[in-house]
Structure 1
Amino acid sequence: MGVKDLWKVLSPVAQKSVPVKSLAGKTLAVDLSGWIVEFRSNQTVPHLYLRTLYQRTTRLMKAGVKLVFIADGVAPECKRDTILARNKDGFASSKPHRQWFNSITEKCFAVLECLGLPCVQAPGEAEAYCAWLNNTGKVDGILTEDADAFLYGGKVVYKNLHALNKHEYLVDVYDIRDTENKLELTRETLVAMAMLVGFDYDKGLRDIGIEKAQELFREMACNQQDPLTRITGWRTNKELERLSTSTEKREAHCKQCQHKGTKNQHEKEGCTDCNLKISCDQSSKVKCSCGGVFHEKEKHRLELRCYQKAIKNHSFPNKKVVDEFLHSTDNLTETSFEWKRIDINKLKNQVPWVRYEDIAELLVQLKMIGLSCFTDAESIIRPLRILNKCQQNFVKCFEVQWTKLDVDSQSQGDCYTFIVDQEPFKRLYKNVVVQYQTEVEEENKRKERERQIKRGKKRQATGTLDGKSTLMTDYFKVKKKSSPPPPEVE
């Protein structure tokens, strides 16, 4: 989705495979519409997308990330043809709106709201609203696969969320500051790139790809021109019209100094512009004084090629696209989010395949990382005792027994057993840790006493076996070797 091959351009400045745990404490806006499309395209079982949504969301919550979910609203006018084309593929209804999508969104919202997460339906595109939240400082970043987030004004985008193992996610991080400083691509330049190469709303210009667009922007930078301003003004640009229609023939110019005349003429007669009577200066920076149109055409060589293609495309430039990316969020009003307590009963009704024990573990892990806003008095789970120490992903942990949820009548046993990090558990439940340390000390003392008792019994039993001697000297007479007599003294 988004601008064709834009991620390839931005890839050199991305931070690859960043652990999601390092984002603990950050607030991210999630492009829920992108997730739904991803889930639905990869799954054929009905409602399996809800299971995937629950699993991915809870794992992010356990990592300490606060989430805000944004869904698509009314499609912009410039995207109408795209939606109709997708509908013809059988993925939606035959009408140019998102009725089919809204029904799925409502089901996702129902699950997410039970988890206490804020859900918002954007007035337009979800990535546009996410970018506005990021640009105004309401969230720290955007979790999406759509590169359009940068064109709408996003600052930090988190892409390619994938699992490292059962307990940890990794993600790639893209920052607009790195894009501007290292690649010299601003938001406006990216919009100009989208107009040339195409994206979800527009096919762009024929035979212009991402590499040719970058080459064009470098040419414009040398000419000190702003790409977006220049491209949107092509139809009324008299200079490019004059150069493209000029029939003036190119006069011979030296390949070494680029001045009028051939190389042989310069070697014999010299070059006026180089101010030499013999030969010419290859490193000369003096412009040719012939005044030919050829030099102007060479200065705008690639731009003229793109300009001629743009003039043949009657829908170029599509100013609705520019307005959508740069001005669609101008009239949005201030908003605030509230993270609520997890409603266990409603959650169980929405996701009946989830066990109470899994919900209890989620509450425990949220408590460990300090997100107590998701728990309430009814869902408090108290630790009973620490069973032992262990490690998980090279992190020191405790294996702890916890009280069961009051509403849980399905799980077997009288308690739950969860693994938690040692450090937060020590801080939250000092008494339980002291009790465990006392039990460990007493157990060590008991084992030491048993070892001493066993050692004492062995000493007492040494030398006798069933009342009989077991010493080797009782079975064999050991004769001491007599020392040789001293030599006689004469």
Structure 2
Amino acid sequence: MGVGGKFWDMLKPYARQEGTEFLRDKKVAVDLSFWIVQHETAIRGACVRNPHIRITFFRTLNLFSKMGAYPVFVLDGDPSPLKSRARIDRFCRANGISLPTNLDQSVAPVKRNATFTKWVAECVELIQLLGMPILRAKGEAEALCGQLNSEGHVDACITADSDAFLFGANCVVKLFNSRSSKPFECYNMPDIEAGLGLKRKQLIAISLLVGNDHDLHGVSGIGIDTSLRFVKCFHEEDVLNELCKFGKQGFVPQSDTKSIPSSTEDLVLVKSPHCSNCGHPGSKNGHVVSACDYCLANSDEACITKMEGFKCECPMCDKYCRIKERKKHEKWQINICQKIFNEKNFPNTEIMDMYLNNNHQVDNDVDVLKLSWKNLQVDALVDFLAYYLNWKPCYARQCILPILSTVFLREKASNPRDDMLLFGQYKFHSIYREKVRYKSPCYVVKWKRDMPNLAVSTESVPFEQSNALPEVETSVSNDELCPSLDDEPDIPEVLIEGGCSFLLSDENSKLVESAFPDEVSRFLRKNENDSFKTPKCNRIQMSITQFYRSSKTRISSNSDEENSAKKSKPLPPDDPDNKRTQSVRRRLNFS
């Protein structure tokens, strides 16, 4: 997907490894089709119920609650005629069918198949129930993601389509696994510019040469390495115009005047004779009579025999090498220009205009600066998950808790009120303990039912009769609850303490501190006081040799009298130690 060749391999050395805290409090544009296609390919052949809904639900939940990001989902629009023709070409190539020669580029748009369209509609319904904003692109979703990122409406894009860089994206998250503690790959355009020396228009030129989603062929005989070297010869503002000239006129580029100086006298490629013994200018017979100046500079004797791999550095040789290198470079450029000129209808200006266009949104009336993240519809979401994933309501409510608690803490931090309740039923009680989750510090928060007149028995199932967040029933199979794939949820725990039932959830430490600063200060003071009460161990850990030596000395010193008594008094005949060897008795005494 995206630019052809090994485009991602070219960018990978400049990728950053970011952790889960990288996206906290950032707006992120998500290519929804990428999630659906990626997971459908990964679980192909597995018995999983509606995996596209499952992956969308858990990834959205983890992206919003665990990573603290604000996702904006972007949908694909109708494909352009160029994309439709490329799909037909890809289908013919995969099935060994020759592409019809009379196929016009203005072919009617080829829409997605009915199954994929149905999956997208179901995921859109789920996202709306979760309260996340959705935007629809005119064409490709990565085009709108790149535009939102370049205009500063979002901070990053989550997609595996490398076309996002061509549409103006500055930060692209490619490998994304919300459940893994391993860092994910993040590509920043400033790092690519500093490492490869390429900017947006130069990347577009590379895509035209090697092929892309809208033109699978590119230029025959030009790969990613050749295109990278060729594009670097031109400035960003001139590279696309130069490609147009080469495609129409077969124009031969001039040599790089900075690296290869040219003059009229350099046109004559003549190499002066050199001595076969020392390798310096002159003849061998002449150097026998008197050493050359280059050898006299290093020795008072005759000419020095040249070493293996010797290269003369005289002005004439340097000039000869520069002229030879320049001619070689010019010949290589002429060969590339000839391939470009032989390519029919190259370059496609329609593809260039599409990449440089900054109007990829269908609903222009929607102000992306005023995108809102609404509260999720709990009851409708529980029914949705029960229908499509066959989840029990108790389990569905447990999975929803992380996103509910995140929304609650954010609202509490921005507008603190004493009457705020989580899920309308639970009140913040205290911080249970500290924890490190996916290499990020967090607090385990205790939530208590705000029902003072109702006594909860320790023998009853917590919260089950209140239609809130009960424990998972053991009679329900794992496949019905949650298939064992990636992106598994963080199920909240239930703590019964002092005759009361508490719900435990993992929350980001900074978010809890902004919502409940007094509770965090009280928890930290309590931990500090407990650390003072607990005596610290000042002993130094010994090596295993020192430990056994000290243990043997201590044991031997404490049993000197017993050992002396055993040595002075002979063992009785019926004593079992009398039948053991001396080494065995020594080991027993040591232990």
1:364 corresponds to: 405
Quick one: which of 75, 91, 95 aligns to 1:71? 75
SS in 2 for 1:398: strand
Instruction: Assess, with a 3 A threshold, how the Cα gap between structure 1 residues 331 and 163 changes in structure 2: closer, same or farther.
Output: closer
2:14 corresponds to: 13
| Deviation, structure 1 residue 236 | 2.9
| Deviation, structure 1 residue 409 | 5.5
TM alignment of 1:73-472, pairs within 5 A = 73-84=77-88, 96-98=110-112, 100=114, 101-163=116-178, 165=180, 168=181, 170-202=183-215, 203-220=217-234, 226-237=238-249, 239-240=251-252, 259-264=268-273, 281-284=316-319, 298-327=328-357, 329=359, 333=364, 335-336=367-368, 337-352=371-386, 353=391, 354-368=395-409, 379-383=423-427, 385-386=429-430, 388-393=432-437, 395=441, 397-403=443-449, 408=467, 411-412=470-471, 416-421=503-508, 424-425=511-512, 428-429=515-516
Identity of aligned residues (%): 22
Structure 2 contact 447–502 (Cα < 8 Å) conserved: yes
Q: Counterpart amino acid of 1:132?
A: Q
TM alignment of 1:50-61, pairs within 5 A = 50-61=53-64
Q: Counterpart amino acid of 2:229?
A: E
Structure 1 contact 360–381 (Cα < 8 Å) conserved: no
1:42 corresponds to: 42
| Deviation, structure 1 residue 129 | 0.6
| Deviation, structure 1 residue 75 | 0.6
Higher alpha-carbon deviation: 71-80 or 178-187: 178-187
Distance 1:134 1:241 in 2: 35
2:571 corresponds to: none
Instruction: Assess, with a 3 A threshold, how the Cα gap between structure 1 residues 380 and 426 changes in structure 2: closer, same or farther.
Output: farther
SS in 2 for 1:355: helix
Instruction: Assess, with a 3 A threshold, how the Cα gap between structure 1 residues 371 and 55 changes in structure 2: closer, same or farther.
Output: farther
Instruction: Assess, with a 3 A threshold, how the Cα gap between structure 1 residues 258 and 402 changes in structure 2: closer, same or farther.
Output: farther
Distance 2:326 2:321 in 1: 15
Instruction: Assess, with a 3 A threshold, how the Cα gap between structure 1 residues 13 and 121 changes in structure 2: closer, same or farther.
Output: same
Instruction: Assess, with a 3 A threshold, how the Cα gap between structure 1 residues 129 and 416 changes in structure 2: closer, same or farther.
Output: same
Distance 1:380 1:181 in 2: 52
| Deviation, structure 1 residue 406 | 9.8
SS in 2 for 1:400: strand
SS in 1 for 2:177: strand
SS in 1 for 2:25: coil
Provide, for residues 37-67 of structure 1, a one-character-per-residue CA deviation record: whole Å limited to 9, x for no partner. Answer: 1122223445111111111111111121000
**Which ranges in structure 2 are unaligned for 5 or more consecutive residues?**
96-107, 256-265, 275-280, 284-313, 415-419, 450-462, 472-493, 495-500, 531-591
| Deviation, structure 1 residue 212 | 1.1
Instruction: Assess, with a 3 A threshold, how the Cα gap between structure 1 residues 11 and 405 changes in structure 2: closer, same or farther.
Output: farther
Distance 1:328 1:434 in 2: 49
**Over aligned residue pairs, what C-alpha RMSD do you find?**
4.1
Provide, for residues 197-248 of structure 1, a one-character-per-residue CA deviation record: whole Å limited to 9, x for no partner. Answer: 1122212122211111112123446xx99332211221333643999xxxxx
Distance 2:430 2:109 in 1: 59
Instruction: Assess, with a 3 A threshold, how the Cα gap between structure 1 residues 238 and 171 changes in structure 2: closer, same or farther.
Output: closer
Distance 1:325 1:132 in 2: 10
Distance 1:154 1:23 in 2: 16
Structure 2 contact 413–514 (Cα < 8 Å) conserved: no
Distance 2:524 2:199 in 1: 58
Higher alpha-carbon deviation: 127-136 or 352-361: 352-361
| Deviation, structure 1 residue 169 | 6.5
| Deviation, structure 1 residue 418 | 2.4
Distance 1:287 1:187 in 2: 32
| Deviation, structure 1 residue 383 | 3.4
| Deviation, structure 1 residue 438 | 12
Distance 2:118 2:372 in 1: 24
SS in 1 for 2:317: coil
Distance 1:195 1:350 in 2: 45
Provide, for residues 270-319 of structure 1, a one-character-per-residue CA deviation record: whole Å limited to 9, x for no partner. Answer: xxxxxxxxx9623349998xxxxx99864532222222222332132222
SS in 2 for 1:339: coil
Provide, for residues 106-142 of structure 1, a one-character-per-residue CA deviation record: whole Å limited to 9, x for no partner. Answer: 1111111111100111111101111111111111111
Distance 1:105 1:174 in 2: 27
Structure 1 contact 78–201 (Cα < 8 Å) conserved: yes
| Deviation, structure 1 residue 96 | 1.4
SS in 1 for 2:198: coil
1:473 corresponds to: none
Distance 1:169 1:67 in 2: 21
SS in 2 for 1:193: helix
Q: Counterpart amino acid of 1:338?
A: S
Distance 2:380 2:524 in 1: 39
Structure 1 contact 28–66 (Cα < 8 Å) conserved: yes
Q: Counterpart amino acid of 2:30?
A: V
| Deviation, structure 1 residue 400 | 1.5
**Which ranges in structure 1 are unaligned for 5 or more consecutive residues?**
244-256, 269-278, 289-293, 444-490
SS in 2 for 1:346: helix
Distance 1:29 1:133 in 2: 8
Provide, for residues 143-195 of structure 1, a one-character-per-residue CA deviation record: whole Å limited to 9, x for no partner. Answer: 11111001011111111112564xx5632221112222331111100011001
| Deviation, structure 1 residue 427 | 5.4
